Amino acid sequence: MSKLYEEFQDYLTKINQYDHITTLLYWDMKTGTPRLGQPAHVDALTYFSTESFAMSTSEKMGEMLAGLTAPAEFDALTDTWKFIVKEMKRDYDRNKRIPADVYAAFVQAQAQAGNVWVEAKEKSDYSLFAPYLQKMIDLTIELTGYTDPDKEVYDALLDQHEAGMDSATIDGLFDTLKKELIPFVKEILARQKPENPALKGYFDPNCQRKVQDLLLDYIGFRKDAGSVGETEHPFTLNFSSKDVRLTNHYYDHNPLSSIFSAIHEGGHAIFEQNVNPEYDNTIAGSCRYMGLHESQSRFYENILGRNRNFWLPIYDKIGELLPPFQDIPLEDFYREINYVKNSLIRVNADEVTYCFHIILRYEMEKAIFRDHVPVSDLPALWNEKMQEYLQITPQDEANGILQDMHWSGGDFGYFPSYLLGSIYDGMLLDTLQEELGDVNELLKTGKIGEITAWLNQKIHWYGSTRKPKEAIMAVCGREVSAEPLVRYFKQKYSEIYKL
């Protein structure tokens, strides 16, 4: 161990303490802080994250990274630390260019916009949110000008969420989906039977919590390294692989929402819990690629969770925990969770029409950052695209443009990650079946542990050390393609709808 390396480790430990507090404040703000206590939390969070940012972009950090990337020091590092140092140097050079006051303004605007968005959504009034959205857009453009001066803004944003992705690649993938799925959904809808009334009625939220716990345990979420909180919008965050937290919500007339949110967030959490623990508290230790992350949550939620066989070994148990399920035949439940219909809300959409919800948002973001469509025109553009892809128009803004929190946090370029995740899933499913055999058999016989172990070994263990395209190439042996996902949809839904 060189002296410089030791000094660097000490410095990282200090930064981690600030980051730990920032994460904890964020968790508390979302799960426990009362409304009037929020501003003080926002101040504290801004303080700690600005301190961490200042240390990460300090002259001292710059000198240490320059020293560690010089051949004499670099060659002595382990492969893991070579990756970490290289990535940190890249982040450092990018972040160093951001003036501290611009960064602080962004963090503050983010917190404010987040709070205003909640109110605007409650009142279904986009005009309250519009000025804050404008501010987030302006600050995002400004920040990107510092971090990625050579990149077009939207491509820079895509790359920030899914390293190595750009709009040319995504255009190609999404065009394939549009070409194949628009006519396919029309065929399905022509065959659609009336809505299934099976899941109507009252479902005790306390019983839903028990079902959630059963599901999390079943798919492999470890309780000694994780916990569950309650928020309106479910999410997952992690301190390290040993402390991963997720949230859920419980609607007493809609048990599917908590069930599928649990499986989805559980997928994210299982990823984080199974990263090589050597990477804890480093940038390698948590998956930084949103598409790759979503590929895991969506693999559990859709590829496994919307498969009939997933439920066979546990369906009776669910009936014991949530008694109304005793009167719902598994076949009705299966139909319900794969009921394809054009709907307003992304998070409630079936897995096929979900693609259109993302394509719409991707095109909206291109309109914002490429065509500079003014924020006042966005609701109309939203409604126009809803008509184009889903043939419905929202009755109000809460169920339209205000439904997602992402833009309030400045998370532009995030939405495509969800669909990229599903695209990777089509490919991962092919490879998993080549290596482990028929997924239906595995699920039917309760061998979900084998699937989780496979994902642990193929994807999770590597954390951030492989970029998404690299990870997919390493596991599947081919370039990213939307064809396996299309094939999966066609096979599954042709059977369900007898096409």
State the residues that interact with Zn ion by CB under 5 A. Answer: 297
Main-chain phi, psi angles of 498, to 5 degrees: 50, 55
The packing angle between helices 153-161 and 415-436, to 10°, is 40
Rounded least distance, CB 471 to Zn ion, Å: 17
Rounded to an integer, what distance in angstroms lies between the CA atom of residue 362 and that of residue 406?
12
What SS3 class is residue 305? coil
- Give yes or no for a contact between 156 and 147, defined as CB atoms under 8 angstroms apart: yes
Burial 188-202 (b: 16+ CB within 10 A, else e): beeeeeeeeebbeee
Rounded to an integer, what distance in angstroms lies between the CA atom of residue 212 and that of residue 204?
12
- Give yes or no for a contact between 265 and 235, defined as CB atoms under 8 angstroms apart: yes
Rounded least distance, CB 169 to Zn ion, Å: 21
Rounded least distance, CB 371 to Zn ion, Å: 28
CB-closest chain residue to Zn ion: 297
User: Longest Cα pair distance anywhere in the chain, in angstroms?
Assistant: 71
Nearer to Zn ion, 297 or 408 (CB): 297
Rounded least distance, CB 36 to Zn ion, Å: 30
Paired with 236 in beta bridges are 246
- Between β-strands 243-248 and 226-230, what pairing exists: parallel, antiparallel or unpaired? parallel
Q: Give Cα 217 to chain centroid, integer Å.
A: 21
Nearer to Zn ion, 23 or 57 (CB): 23
Select which of 162, 265, 272, 301 is catalytic: 265
Rounded least distance, CB 96 to Zn ion, Å: 31
- Give yes or no for a contact between 322 and 307, defined as CB atoms under 8 angstroms apart: no
Residue 485 to residues 89, 350, 361, Cα–Cα distance (Å): 36, 14, 20
Our answer to whether residue 265 is catalytic in this structure is yes
Nearer to Zn ion, 111 or 292 (CB): 292
Residue 2 to residues 11, 88, 439, 454, Cα–Cα distance (Å): 14, 19, 49, 37
Nearer to Zn ion, 285 or 291 (CB): 291
Task: Using alpha carbons, select from 432, 368, 447, 449 the residue that is nearest to residue 154.
Answer: 368
Nearer to Zn ion, 293 or 469 (CB): 293
Nearer to Zn ion, 57 or 297 (CB): 297
Residue 220 burial (C-beta neighbours within 10 Å; 0-12, 13-18, 19+): buried
Rounded least distance, CB 276 to Zn ion, Å: 22
Nearer to Zn ion, 280 or 411 (CB): 411
Nearer to Zn ion, 67 or 266 (CB): 266
DSSP 254: B
Task: Using alpha carbons, select from 400, 269, 282 the residue that is nearest to residue 345.
Answer: 400
- Long-range contact list for 176-182, CB < 8 A, 24+ apart? 176/482, 176/483, 176/486, 177/355, 177/359, 177/419, 177/482, 177/485, 177/486, 178/359, 180/482, 180/486, 180/490, 181/352, 181/355, 181/356, 181/486, 181/489, 182/389
Rounded least distance, CB 270 to Zn ion, Å: 12
Amino acid at 34: P
Sequence-ordered list of residues with C-beta below 8 angstroms from that of 494, at least 6 positions apart, any chain: none
**Position of tokens 């693609």?**
355
Rounded least distance, CB 238 to Zn ion, Å: 13
Task: Using alpha carbons, select from 357, 350, 480 the residue that is nearest to residue 415.
Answer: 357
Rounded least distance, CB 393 to Zn ion, Å: 27
Nearer to Zn ion, 174 or 418 (CB): 418
Known catalytic residues? Answer: 265
